[in-house]
Structure 1
């Protein structure tokens, strides 16, 4: 089943939360404040979207009439996660939740095997507490995607499977709330301007590097792509996810006029700032979303299309990781995703 963004929008009208307590961001005059506010907003949005996913799943389990609404809210939750995905900078409590939220890359279809094993247990009542003790492969967004989209899932016909999905979404909502609360305070207040420059560039570089690996792993060797390494291949939303990654990175870079773009211009580096901004816009405006990454890798033409997108991200990475770092006198070391 291929996902289409426009479907079932009206089905969610009555499922918006009115009980969530909204956290307020910490207000400071620190140089990192603009970026912090972007991160705070992203964490709050992710928590809200997953909370609504739990509500929609619960409604489906009661009525079993509108799976389209579940898939739509799953996609919204996944999209909101793209702003936080691949982070290696920020509150440790938030970073520790990454694998619980999403297990990827799934090189050996561990998610599929673990989910099938859970269904074979024939457990009468699943709860969030049960899921929290399971493998991370069945706790997050990938597990829910498997339930909604995989042909081996009997979500449409088995009420117990629906209860499993509800339990997974409830556990995910708890983890998302942990992330949101971790961003309640700015983790960078002790950093000097120089240290913040280094931290900020690393923040952008780490997330961009993660996005690049979402293309390079499936691309693999020329002529021998590994399409099943694609993120969200079951729902066909891998390229849409990546577009959201890039849009979120652009927002982090700009930080509502308080980010790296403004800092470069203040240092008389407007030409470099313009090139980065233009590269973001070029990448976003020409990003293909009509087909999934899995579909594109089925043909030579599609492979070339994906490779062209990778080159755009590589150019963006060079501008930030190399040119900006040089201009600001920052030395960026290897990150945790290098060399795998």
Structure 2
């Protein structure tokens, strides 16, 4: 018969061994995911989907407001009632802000369906908006939704709506409110449909495709490819903000610099400064809330994360430093704040173009906003 002490030792060893095994199983289940996995999940759920949802909501509100106001004009005599432009302009500004925040998501359905131009026609250095829309306003022939969808992208989207709501020349032309309603209804309804379609696509197929990268996924064969698409979208947005939205109007890209405020984005509504603020709000959202900063820190690039954060804050401060619109400032010959803002945006874009991809081990593609 074995001694009791020996049995106690055997049981203790068995208990210890089983405990170690159980602890190993628990710890293996708690193994931290790769930083790419966490970032991609948060980018989809805390960045892409909320911004797509906001665009759908804002464009729906604009379309409903147009419908409500235009319905109130039905049966009224010409000149008897007019549109409440102030409320329509406020709704447009909210839709434009949502679109400016969405511009960095230039991959997925908006790319495969080639919808970007239907949301906004810009740049427009030849003033095609006025040249294309004026004939539609003066014509007595009505447009069906089918005809409008096939019409030039110049007369569609937020820039075209801006022309109708803000262009000062329309006040002197005394355009019929009913005729304005015909065109505004077609434009806002189409904008609402496209926004709802993008949201639905991201909630379904494209969201799953982004999240389920792997060898069988043609578009996203690995996590780094997904990260590269997301970061490249941010770079494209920042280079557009720096190289087009301010640089063109300042003339800084031409040998003989000549300031031209009419080359600003949304100059009719004098919303150019707010557009750039919305662009940076989008960058800020991905960097902080959706975890790009944390991803950089996890990748051993904490100094770069801090540098980007400071550059982002600097650009935001320059845009907030002047309460005047860029259009007002440039018309008056005051270009200091615009130049400082453009330089700050350029510096921020530079960090996204070279140090950031290197730190994350990704390869970015060439985009049309590249300043090289």
TM-score normalised by the chain length of structure 1: 0.83
2:331 aligned residue: 298
**1:105-124 correspondence to structure 2 within 5 Å:** 105-123=123-141
Rate the CA distance shift 1:130–1:290 in 2: closer, same or farther, 3 A. Answer: farther
User: Which deviates more, 177-186 or 131-140?
Assistant: 177-186
1:134 aligned residue: 151
> Are the equivalent residues in 2 in contact too, given 1:283–1:313 (CA < 8 A)?
yes
**1:251-262 correspondence to structure 2 within 5 Å:** 251-254=285-288, 256=289, 258-262=290-294
Deviation at 1:45, TM superposition (A): 0.9
Secondary structure of the 1:235 match is coil
| 2:369 counterpart of 1:337 | yes
Secondary structure of the 2:335 match is helix
TM-score normalised by the chain length of structure 2: 0.76
State how far apart, in whole Å, the 2-side matches of 1:126 and 1:87 are: 32
> Are the equivalent residues in 2 in contact too, given 1:51–1:173 (CA < 8 A)?
yes
Rate the CA distance shift 1:202–1:260 in 2: closer, same or farther, 3 A. Answer: same
Deviation at 1:331, TM superposition (A): 3.3
2:183 aligned residue: 164
2:195 aligned residue: 176
User: Which deviates more, 125-134 or 99-108?
Assistant: 125-134
Alignment equivalent of 2:99, drawn from 47, 64, 81: 81
- Superimposed CA distance per residue, residues 173-211 of structure 1 (whole angstroms, 9 cap, x where no aligned partner): 112122222212324232423323322321211121122
1:99 aligned residue: 117
Structure of larger gyration radius = 2
1:239 aligned residue: 273
Rate the CA distance shift 1:170–1:94 in 2: closer, same or farther, 3 A. Answer: farther
Point out where structure 2 has 5 or more consecutive residues left out of the alignment.
1-36, 73-81, 214-219
> Are the equivalent residues in 2 in contact too, given 1:128–1:168 (CA < 8 A)?
no
Deviation at 1:165, TM superposition (A): 1.1
> Are the equivalent residues in 2 in contact too, given 1:106–1:229 (CA < 8 A)?
yes
> Are the equivalent residues in 2 in contact too, given 1:204–1:253 (CA < 8 A)?
no
Deviation at 1:243, TM superposition (A): 0.4
Secondary structure of the 2:42 match is helix
2:295 aligned residue: 263
Structure with the bigger percentage of helix? 2
| 2:42 counterpart of 1:34 | yes
Deviation at 1:101, TM superposition (A): 0.7
2:16 aligned residue: none
Deviation at 1:157, TM superposition (A): 4.3
Rate the CA distance shift 1:195–1:155 in 2: closer, same or farther, 3 A. Answer: farther
Deviation at 1:94, TM superposition (A): 6.4
2:169 aligned residue: 152
Point out where structure 1 has 5 or more consecutive residues left out of the alignment.
1-28
| 2:258 counterpart of 1:224 | yes
1:207 aligned residue: 237
- Superimposed CA distance per residue, residues 12-57 of structure 1 (whole angstroms, 9 cap, x where no aligned partner): xxxxxxxxxxxxxxxxx66412111211111111111111101111
> Are the equivalent residues in 2 in contact too, given 1:197–1:330 (CA < 8 A)?
yes
State how far apart, in whole Å, the 2-side matches of 1:337 and 1:109 are: 21
Question: How many corresponding residue pairs?
Answer: 308
Deviation at 1:259, TM superposition (A): 2.5
Deviation at 1:140, TM superposition (A): 0.6
Rate the CA distance shift 1:183–1:94 in 2: closer, same or farther, 3 A. Answer: farther
Deviation at 1:282, TM superposition (A): 2.4
> Are the equivalent residues in 1 in contact too, given 2:104–2:233 (CA < 8 A)?
no
> Are the equivalent residues in 1 in contact too, given 2:104–2:236 (CA < 8 A)?
yes
Rate the CA distance shift 1:44–1:326 in 2: closer, same or farther, 3 A. Answer: same
Rate the CA distance shift 1:268–1:59 in 2: closer, same or farther, 3 A. Answer: same
